[in-house]
């Protein structure tokens, strides 16, 4: 199976991929130009014609084999993820497990969901309605670096099951994890060229959008906007999972200890580089001081390291850009009157991009951390006089990806959750949008268009075709109009739509 289109083609510029912890070059990939991307899509198109006629049950068998192989080969895959991202071992393991979970979920449901459905018709004696679900053709996937396996895997498995071929453009910072997925898919029996990887930078991504039939993008809001414009010009559908600035609301009846541990996890999971990371922690006034004490207690228990061990909660950042931005947001907040509760010191003895998680208090709306996406291990804690004010602060953002509410009163927490302008709200937990593949995950406002997960996370890669069969052929034009006339008279008599 050809995983990387034209790898090592003479004349291609090469991109060096670095290990963020050791700074060593772990490999190079070609920066593929327009022509190579076009050729990859052409090969995908040819392969897709045959893949689309493979019965869905057989496609599902291949994906189930893929899931088993991922588990069997998890160690080398975890190592690759860790090497190119610098993330904690447990988080790299989590990436593999989430992809396996989604592969299992979608391979179990695809055969039923993709069956043509019979729909009731208004005049069922006269005609039957059936809706078929055809694949789009070639789905392009452009992915970020923060979860390089997971954020292609969970979206491209349903695209494949729906009968599409897939061409992935991974981040130039982390191209190797998804190449492993391509290798394992091949081993599981996926035919050649049904799943390909094209490596390169943003221009390679833009070239991909020019040729595919559907584009699934995960990345920043700025890039998402460019892709939406390009997709609109070509009139192809796009699904965009974008940036965030996620709030956590701690109500006065919350389990303070649990909520404080949750806030820290929201801050440090994947070293703060998750689209669903917590960035603003809004605490009701009566428990504010106790909450800060609980945060300080948990903070001392954080273990930071990049070793191959489940002992570490947090590791290195992946890029200098996020490292610098976290420190910039910290400085900006302190300049504008925030108080540094914990952290913000670099830890060079562990690696160049290690940073103590930053906790600031007394945050105000004009601070960058309150408005922009930090994408690093930093949270701002804000005091709210009551739940109404907490909701108002939480919603004061251009983003709408993921929020959480913490309270012992389930009903009250749910009521607050429904007032939040966010596509996912966790109650007394975090990140479960990636643990519950049944739950639609949609970015509201500037966090995206469309959604992943659930039935629609697969059906979005299909286009409906309605087949409407006439059971009672009209012998002539007059028969049709006389039927309409009779209906018209009947509906006038009974004063509603007849029959």
Closer by beta carbon to ligand NAD, 154 or else 359 = 154
Contact pick of 86, 266, 443, 457 for ligand NAD (by CB under 6 A) = 443
Report how many residues bind ligand NAD under the rule CB under 6 A: 31
Helices (H) and strands (E) in the chain, counts: 16, 22
- Helix 288-299 and helix 256-268, axial crossing angle in degrees, nearest 10: 50
Segment interacting with ligand NAD, rule: CB under 6 A, options 121-129, 158-166, 340-348, 440-448: 440-448
**In contact, 56 and 111? CB cutoff 8 Å:** yes
Segment interacting with ligand NAD, rule: CB under 6 A, options 23-31, 167-175, 410-418, 482-490: 167-175
Q: How far apart are CA 81 and CA 333, in angstroms?
A: 33
Contact pick of 241, 269, 284, 368 for ligand NAD (by CB under 6 A) = 241
Is residue 149 involved in binding ligand NAD (CB under 6 A)?
no
Segment interacting with ligand NAD, rule: CB under 6 A, options 87-95, 124-132, 202-210, 460-468: 202-210
What single string gives the DSSP state of each residue in 51-117?
A: HTTS-HHHHHHHHHHHHHHHHHTHHHHHHHHHHHH---HHHHHHHHHHHHHHHHHHHHHHHHHTSPE
Is residue 219 involved in binding ligand NAD (CB under 6 A)?
yes
Q: How far apart are the first and last CA of the chain?
A: 59
For residue 110, give the nearest of 129, 135, 128, 130 by alpha carbon.
135
What is residue 415's three-state secondary structure? helix
Looking at 95, 267, 275, 322, which residue is catalytic? 275
Q: How far apart are CA 326 and CA 353, in angstroms?
A: 11
Closer by beta carbon to ligand NAD, 93 or else 375 = 375
What are the start-end ranges of the H helices in 235-275? Answer: 256-268
Distance of closest approach, residue 150 Cβ to ligand NAD, in angstroms: 9
Contact pick of 227, 250, 264, 458 for ligand NAD (by CB under 6 A) = 227
Distance of closest approach, residue 410 Cβ to ligand NAD, in angstroms: 27
Is residue 275 annotated as a catalytic residue, yes or no? yes
Is residue 218 involved in binding ligand NAD (CB under 6 A)?
yes
Closer by beta carbon to ligand NAD, 197 or else 227 = 227
Closer by beta carbon to ligand NAD, 98 or else 401 = 401
For residue 396, give the nearest of 284, 277, 245 by alpha carbon.
245
Q: DSSP letter for 19, please.
A: -
Q: Which helix (H) or strand (E) holds 228?
A: helix 221-234
Is residue 241 annotated as a catalytic residue, yes or no? yes
Is residue 272 involved in binding ligand NAD (CB under 6 A)?
no
Scan for tokens 């994408």, then name that residue: 375
Is residue 36 involved in binding ligand NAD (CB under 6 A)?
no
Segment interacting with ligand NAD, rule: CB under 6 A, options 108-116, 156-164, 212-220, 418-426: 212-220
For residue 20, what are its two tokens?
């963020």
Q: How far apart are CA 54 and CA 56, in angstroms?
A: 6
Segment interacting with ligand NAD, rule: CB under 6 A, options 128-136, 216-224, 284-292, 355-363: 216-224
Distance of closest approach, residue 264 Cβ to ligand NAD, in angstroms: 20
For residue 352, what are its two tokens?
């160049």
What single string gives the DSSP state of each residue in 315-374?
A: ---S-HHHHHHHHHHHHHHHHTT-EEEE---B-TTT-TT-BPPEEEES--TTSHHHHS--
Distance of closest approach, residue 279 Cβ to ligand NAD, in angstroms: 10
Is residue 435 involved in binding ligand NAD (CB under 6 A)?
no
Is residue 302 involved in binding ligand NAD (CB under 6 A)?
no
Contact pick of 45, 183, 226, 350 for ligand NAD (by CB under 6 A) = 226
Contact characters 362-381, ligand NAD, x per CB under 6 A:
-----------x-x------
Contact pick of 28, 31, 220, 255 for ligand NAD (by CB under 6 A) = 220
Q: How far apart are CA 219 and CA 75, in angstroms?
A: 27
Is residue 84 involved in binding ligand NAD (CB under 6 A)?
no
Distance of closest approach, residue 32 Cβ to ligand NAD, in angstroms: 12
Residues that bind ligand NAD (CB under 6 A): 142-146, 151, 169, 171-172, 201-202, 205-206, 209, 218-220, 223, 226-227, 241-244, 275, 373, 375, 401, 443, 447-448
Catalytic residue numbers read: 241, 275
């Amino acid at each position: 199976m050809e995983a990387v289109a034209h790898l090592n083609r003479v004349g291609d510029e090469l991109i060096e991929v670095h290990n963020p912890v050791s700074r060593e070059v772990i490999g190079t990939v070609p920066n593929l130009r327009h022509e190579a991307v076009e050729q990859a899509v052409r090969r995908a198109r040819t392969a897709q014609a045959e893949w689309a006629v493979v019965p869905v049950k057989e496609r599902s068998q291949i994906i189930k084999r893929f899931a088993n192989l991922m588990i069997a080969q998890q160690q080398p895959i975890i190592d690759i993820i860790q090497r190119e991202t610098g993330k904690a071992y447990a988080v790299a393991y989590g990436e593999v497990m989430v992809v396996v979970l989604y592969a299992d979920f979608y391979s179990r449901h695809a055969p039923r969901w993709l069956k043509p459905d019979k729909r009731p018709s208004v005049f069922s004696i006269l005609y039957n309605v059936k809706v078929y679900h055809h694949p789009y053709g070639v789905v392009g996937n452009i992915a970020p670096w923060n979860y390089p396996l997971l954020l292609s895997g969970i979206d491209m498995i349903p695209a494949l099951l729906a009968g599409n071929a897939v061409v992935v453009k991974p981040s130039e910072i982390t191209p190797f994890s998804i190449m492993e997925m391509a290798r394992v898919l091949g081993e599981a029996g996926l035919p050649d060229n049904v799943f390909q990887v094209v490596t390169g930078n943003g221009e390679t991504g833009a070239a991909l959008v020019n040729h595919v039939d559907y584009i699934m993008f995960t990345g920043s809001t700025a890039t998402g906007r460019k892709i939406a414009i390009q997709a609109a010009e070509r009139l192809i559908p796009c699904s965009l999972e974008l940036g965030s600035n996620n709030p956590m609301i701690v109500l006065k009846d919350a389990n303070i200890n649990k909520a404080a541990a949750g806030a820290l996890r929201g801050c440090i999971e994947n070293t703060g580089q998750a689209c669903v990371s917590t960035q603003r922690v809004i605490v009701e006034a009566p428990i504010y001081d106790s909450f800060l004490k609980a945060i300080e207690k948990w903070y001392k228990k954080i273990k930071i390291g990049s070793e191959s061990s489940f002992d570490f909660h947090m590791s290195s950042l992946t890029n200098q850009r996020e490292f610098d931005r976290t420190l910039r947001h910290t400085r900006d907040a302190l300049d504008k009157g925030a108080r540094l509760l914990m952290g913000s010191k670099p830890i060079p003895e562990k690696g160049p991009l290690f940073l103590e998680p930053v906790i600031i208090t007394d945050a105000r709306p004009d601070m960058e951390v309150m408005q922009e996406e930090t994408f690093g291990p930093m949270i701002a804690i804000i005091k709210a006089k009551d739940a109404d004010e907490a909701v108002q602060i939480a919603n004061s953002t251009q983003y709408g990806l993921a929020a959480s509410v913490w309270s012992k009163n389930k009903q009250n927490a749910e009521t607050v959750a429904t007032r939040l302008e966010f596509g996912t709200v966790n109650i007394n937990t975090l990140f479960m949008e990636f643990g519950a593949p049944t739950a639609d995950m949609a970015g509201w406002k500037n966090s995206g268009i469309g959604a992943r997960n659930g039935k629609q996370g697969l059906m979005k890669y299909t286009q409906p075709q309605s087949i409407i069969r006439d059971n009672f052929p009209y012998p002539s034009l007059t028969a049709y109009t006389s039927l309409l006339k009779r209906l018209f008279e009947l509906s006038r008599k009974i004063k509603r739509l007849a029959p």
